[in-house]
Amino acid sequence: MDTSATARPVALLEREHEVEQIRAALRGAGRGRGGALIIEAAPGIGKSRLLGESRQLAGAMGLRVLDARSTALEQGFPFGVVRQLFERVLLEAESGDRERWLAGAGGLAMEVLTGMPAAGPGPGPSGGDFGYAWLHGLYWFASNLAVDAPLALVVDDLQWCDAPSARALAYIARRLDGQPLVLVIATRPLDPALMPEAAALVADALSEVVRPAPLTPAAVRELIADRLLADTDHRFVRACIEVTGGNPFLLGELLDEAAARGLEPTSSGAAEVASIVPRGVTNAVLLRLARLEPTAAVLARALSVLDDGAHVGDATQLARLARAETETAMAALVSAGVVEAGETVRFTHPILRTAVYGDLSPAERERLHHSAAAILRERGAPRGQVAAHVMQTEPASDPNAVALLRQVAHDALALGDADRAAALLSRALDEPPADGDRPAILLELGQALAHAGAPQAIAPLSEIAERGEDPVAVAAAAIDLSSLLFFTPAAPLRERRSCAAPGSGFRPGSPLGGSSRSRCWASAPLRRRRGGRRRRRSPPCETRAARHATCCRRRRLPRSPWRRC
């Protein structure tokens, strides 16, 4: 039996209907009737393969194709996927093209795509609602690009897409009617609680969803004949379907293993099929690695921690290999179909990475993420990448880790990803920080959560408002708390009272404790909710706001987009 058969690409089976839907969506974009096509299915069913078909078809139909692929580790990079889509075409464009694409509202995308503020006069993101302006800018940028040639934006693995990019894709998807622009997106089934933006995109009535099914016995038989190069007994086909459920990826892994063992697709071979993968595909992948030289497995483990897009140099250091050893190990991994090497390295399939990563012991995982953070930091990699590894390590009271997580949280917040910022700050608190830094981080966490609209913001903000030592922080927390309680109808009344009641959050004796200003702000929402009755001594609204603004200026309170001052 020829094991090299596994390296040959297999014909696309039983996807005529899906390919026709893709073709129709691309044709629609070519005629100025854009839309969004979502391919949703379980891991290994063949979504990426269909995206490959989409790219080829789109190219053949004269569409410009821009693509991106999310990865689990990069989920924390705000607008990472959007940048993958547009950054290269923008950087490589002639200056005339670039100017056209960034003309008008398209210029609002500049900050997201290049990190540089939008040029020229007019309201830019820094002057208004950051998130909306950026989404609007990205839509117009894509729309301007599509004026040159119909455009296909192809995104794989939406289930790992960073939230701001998912929001941008959903924004674009809702405005495609009449545009020569099509989105083709692949995703595993999504949990709306974990990925609300991406789930909203899939659920949108304007999105067309394609759900490829597992392969039927006829196609499985064809795959077996192709890989094992022999006549196939129907019992062998049935055994393969029982083990894999007709999932093309699992079938491929199973048949690779069968070929490596010299198994014939006969009725006696059928009895052995179930024992090949007693613990599922993980075994098949790990077995495949075990057959290679030991350095290949070591390198694969390091690569699984670095995730897709790893630099060979980083992997070499992390695996503690010499350069020559890495070269040999990499060649073995590539020829075994485990990784694809290019400028950077990626696993040929996410399930492979998950299988290798899942096989690491907790201690090994901890050690590797710890070392990966140090290696990336040393090389001057973007701090978001370093933080992604720190997030996977156990807390260790490391002040550098705390500082890094705070910086990356600020970056995330500046890009409108408040959820990510809150996760980073929460981890920074777990580290834990030095006692002196804790209140500031707690306040930042509360503000990030408030920005994300999460009621969990109440606890950290209340703690600062009630027990903070720094009067500026106490005031900032009280004001945010007040706004939050006003806009969060579900917040329990007890929490509102704890903020509003004079003497609870605003201690008499503290510099702001007795000030009518902070009490006025904290209690105003309550008064309004109780039917708008105002005490006689309350100043009119405008006066209160003006006083508040003056006070903020005088005390240099931090500005925040959701605070009225």
Ligand X SMILES: Nc1ncnc2c1ncn2[C@@H]1O[C@H](COP(=O)(O)OP(=O)(O)OP(=O)(O)O)[C@@H](O)[C@H]1O
Q: Give whichever of 44 and 124 is closer to ligand X, judged by the CB atom.
A: 44
Size of residue set near ligand X by CB under 6 A: 21
5 binds ligand X per the rule CB under 6 A: no
**Rounded to the nearest whole angstrom, what is the least distance from the CB of residue 339 to ligand X in the complex?**
14
> Which one of Mg ion, ligand X, none interacts with residue 28, CB within 5 to 8 A by kind?
none
Token reading at 490: 């579900």
**Rounded to the nearest whole angstrom, what is the least distance from the CB of residue 156 to ligand X in the complex?**
7
Is the Cα torsion angle 30, 36, 40, 43 positive or negative in sign?
A: positive
Binding pattern for the stretch 214-253 against ligand X, x by CB under 6 A and - elsewhere: ----------------------------------xx--x-
Stretch that binds ligand X, among 36-44, 87-95, 435-443, 555-563 (CB under 6 A): 36-44
DSSP per-residue codes, 433-494 = PPTTTHHHHHHHHHHHHHHTT-GGGHHHHHHHHHH-S-HHHHHHHHHHHHHHHHH-TTS-HH
DSSP per-residue codes, 216-254 = PHHHHHHHHHHHH-S---HHHHHHHHHHHTT-HHHHHHH
Within 196-255, the residues that bind Mg ion by CB under 5 A are none
Stretch that binds ligand X, among 46-54, 78-86, 109-117, 235-243 (CB under 6 A): 46-54
Q: Give whichever of 47 and 406 is closer to Mg ion, judged by the CB atom.
A: 47
49 binds ligand X per the rule CB under 6 A: yes
Residue among 13, 230, 286, 440 that touches ligand X (CB under 6 A): 13
* Among candidate residues 97, 91, 83, the one with its CA nearest the CA of residue 168: 83
* Among candidate residues 360, 305, 299, 361, the one with its CA nearest the CA of residue 331: 299
**Rounded to the nearest whole angstrom, what is the least distance from the CB of residue 154 to ligand X in the complex?**
13
282 binds ligand X per the rule CB under 6 A: no
> Which one of Mg ion, ligand X, none interacts with residue 166, CB within 5 to 8 A by kind?
none
What φ, ψ does residue 461 adopt, rounded to 5°? -65, -40
CA distance 211 to 198: 16
Is the Cα torsion angle 425, 426, 430, 436 positive or negative in sign?
A: positive
**Rounded to the nearest whole angstrom, what is the least distance from the CB of residue 376 to ligand X in the complex?**
25
> Which one of Mg ion, ligand X, none interacts with residue 10, CB within 5 to 8 A by kind?
ligand X
CA distance 446 to 453: 10
The rounded Cα 281 to chain-centroid distance in angstroms is: 25
Q: 128-161 burial, b if ≥16 CB within 10 A, otherwise e?
A: eebbebbbbbbbbbbbbbbeeebbbbbbbbbbbb
Q: Which residues contact 33 (CB under 8 A, 6 or more apart)?
A: 177, 178
The rounded Cα 386 to chain-centroid distance in angstroms is: 16
DSSP per-residue codes, 316-344 = HHHHT--HHHHHHHHHHHHHTTSEEESSS
Stretch that binds Mg ion, among 40-48, 380-388, 459-467, 514-522 (CB under 5 A): 40-48
**Rounded to the nearest whole angstrom, what is the least distance from the CB of residue 241 to ligand X in the complex?**
14
Residue among 3, 21, 48, 456 that touches Mg ion (CB under 5 A): 48
209 binds ligand X per the rule CB under 6 A: no
Q: Give whichever of 115 and 189 is closer to Mg ion, judged by the CB atom.
A: 189
Token reading at 248: 């093309």
Q: Give whichever of 38 and 520 is closer to Mg ion, judged by the CB atom.
A: 38
**Rounded to the nearest whole angstrom, what is the least distance from the CB of residue 215 to ligand X in the complex?**
6
Q: Give whichever of 70 and 371 is closer to ligand X, judged by the CB atom.
A: 70
> Which one of Mg ion, ligand X, none interacts with residue 351, CB within 5 to 8 A by kind?
ligand X
The rounded Cα 287 to chain-centroid distance in angstroms is: 31
Residue among 221, 301, 349, 451 that touches ligand X (CB under 6 A): 349
**Rounded to the nearest whole angstrom, what is the least distance from the CB of residue 346 to ligand X in the complex?**
12
Residues near ligand X (CB under 6 A) are 10, 12-15, 41, 43-49, 157, 188, 248-249, 252, 349-351
Residues near Mg ion (CB under 5 A) are 47-48
